[in-house]
Amino acid sequence: MQAAERVAENLNRGLHTLFENDPRVYLLGEDVLDPYGGAFKVTRGLSTRYPDRVITTPISEGAIVGVGNGLALAGDRAIVEVMFGDFVTLAFDQIVNFAAKSVAMYGRRLPMHLVVRCPVGGNRGYGPTHSQCPQKHFVGVPDLALFEVSPFHDNVALLERLVGRGEPCLLFEDKGLYGERMLADGRVDELFRFDYLDTGQTVARAFVDDTAADCVIVAPGGVARRALAAARELLVELELGCQVIVPSQLYPLDLEPLLPVLERAGLVCVAEESTAGGTWGAEVARRVYDRLWGRLRRPVLLVSSRDSVIPTAPHLERDVLLQSGTITRAVGEALDA
């Protein structure tokens, strides 16, 4: 990972590395050609260097993913960019009923090297249909893996891992992260350090010290900064020690690396930007109950955005979407109960 590299730059370098190392990699999406280079500039430079393998498309998410499915079925590697992740729902049939099923429905295991990139999340004033987090709608689909970008996880390695899995993957990229710096050298700031709970460095943990925490906050990458801000406030204002765990793979989630930390915590909190109900957080809580029932000190706390469409006006948007203060208040109330 290069020093002071921004998340969008790191993603861009990861894509360039894939294209350089494997001539079977294709990229499809709306407005991905130079000089535009994608709505968030993540694909910048690719069409100039690899004009035959970067394909700009009409505005049809179902068609884009469908072509990607065909490339993957034929043995190539397809990366599809959905300009705004809200509209991945228009490709739901292609992802759930074709891509995920093709791995297993032909009488033998068939690799499907497909990655669908989905910029998601709010706090940018984009309004109801360009600010959502649809991750929960894909949890539990067999042979479909869900990942999320974070400032802790090098996207060069992550993209290589996804393309090499042999099963379709959704990669969620919180738009608010694109301009943030990647974290490196085990340091978040002057207060928090970080390490990884597994040898593959897929599960990051931020902490002040390694003792048992009053609260462990489990959060996807897009919520990591808000979880860290909440952990800082809880420490400074309420003298509560919090650790933040950020897995790069949301589903299927390997819970084993998390268990030693979770079972020592005074409270386990799962924070996400999706609205409540049938969420990734609920799936994490179910898994935690299966493994740690009887050793948990309190029920798992789920924190999410309000049950509402997302307003465009900034002050109303902040009121609806999960903020660091949402986590701080919920954890403080749960530990005070």
Nearest to 159, CA basis, from 310, 21, 280: 21
Residue 2 placed within a domain: no
Looking at the fold, whether 327 and 255 belong to one and the same domain comes out as yes
Residue 184 placed within a domain: no
Looking at the fold, whether 321 and 201 belong to one and the same domain comes out as yes
* Per-residue pLDDT tens digits for 294-337: 999 999 999 999 999 999 999 999 999 999 999 999 999 999 86
> ∠ CA(17), CA(23), CA(25), 5° rounding?
70
* pLDDT value, residue 210: 87
Q: What is the mean pLDDT of residues 206-235?
A: 96
Looking at the fold, whether 97 and 244 belong to one and the same domain comes out as no
The answer to whether 183 and 152 are in contact (CB under 8 A) is yes
Residue 110 placed within a domain: yes
Q: What is the CATH number of the domain that holds 303?
A: 3.40.50.920
Is pLDDT at 223 greater than 90 in this prediction?
yes
Give residue for tokens 């379709």.
168
Looking at the fold, whether 226 and 134 belong to one and the same domain comes out as no
Q: Where does the pLDDT of residue 2 fall: very low under 50, low under 70, confident under 90, or very high at 90 and above?
A: low
Looking at the fold, whether 165 and 216 belong to one and the same domain comes out as no
Looking at the fold, whether 173 and 225 belong to one and the same domain comes out as no
Residue ending a domain, among 151, 177, 203, is: 177
Q: From CA 140, how far away is CA 96, in angstroms rounded?
A: 10
Instruction: Show the tokens assigned to 2.
Output: 């290069």
Is pLDDT at 142 greater than 70 in this prediction?
yes
* Per-residue pLDDT tens digits for 246-260: 999 999 999 999 999
Q: Where does the pLDDT of residue 3 fall: very low under 50, low under 70, confident under 90, or very high at 90 and above?
A: low
* pLDDT value, residue 305: 97
Residue 208 placed within a domain: yes
Looking at the fold, whether 29 and 150 belong to one and the same domain comes out as yes
Is pLDDT at 114 greater than 70 in this prediction?
yes
Name the β-bridge partners of 269: 217, 301
Nearest to 285, CA basis, from 209, 216, 222, 227: 216
The answer to whether 145 and 254 are in contact (CB under 8 A) is no
Residue ending a domain, among 144, 177, 210, is: 177
Residue 226 placed within a domain: yes
H helices of the chain, in order, are: 7-21, 46-49, 61-73, 92, 100-102, 155-164, 224-238, 259-262, 280-292, 314-320, 324-336
Instruction: Show the tokens assigned to 33.
Output: 């050609």
The domain containing residue 132 runs over which residues?
7-177
164, amino acid identity: G
Residue 332 placed within a domain: yes
Residue ending a domain, among 177, 207, 222, is: 177
Looking at the fold, whether 15 and 82 belong to one and the same domain comes out as yes
* Per-residue pLDDT tens digits for 168-193: 999 999 999 999 999 999 999 999 99
Looking at the fold, whether 119 and 214 belong to one and the same domain comes out as no
* pLDDT value, residue 212: 84
Is pLDDT at 1 greater than 70 in this prediction?
no
Omega of the bond leading into 51 within 30 degrees of 0 (cis):
no
Q: From CA 71, how far away is CA 74, in angstroms rounded?
A: 5
Looking at the fold, whether 163 and 197 belong to one and the same domain comes out as no
Q: What is the mean pLDDT of residues 51-56?
A: 96
Residue 119 placed within a domain: yes
Q: What is the CATH number of the domain that holds 85?
A: 3.40.50.970
Give residue for tokens 């700009």.
56
Strands 145-148, 193-196: pairing is unpaired
Q: What is the mean pLDDT of residues 14-23?
A: 97
Q: From CA 157, how far away is CA 163, in angstroms rounded?
A: 10
Strands 203-207, 193-196: pairing is antiparallel
Residue 182 placed within a domain: no
* Per-residue pLDDT tens digits for 79-110: 999 999 999 999 999 999 999 999 998 888 99
Q: In 3-state terms, what secondary structure has residue 146?
A: strand
* pLDDT value, residue 211: 87
Is pLDDT at 281 greater than 80 in this prediction?
yes
The answer to whether 112 and 73 are in contact (CB under 8 A) is yes
Domain count, the chain: 2
Looking at the fold, whether 78 and 164 belong to one and the same domain comes out as yes
Looking at the fold, whether 206 and 169 belong to one and the same domain comes out as no
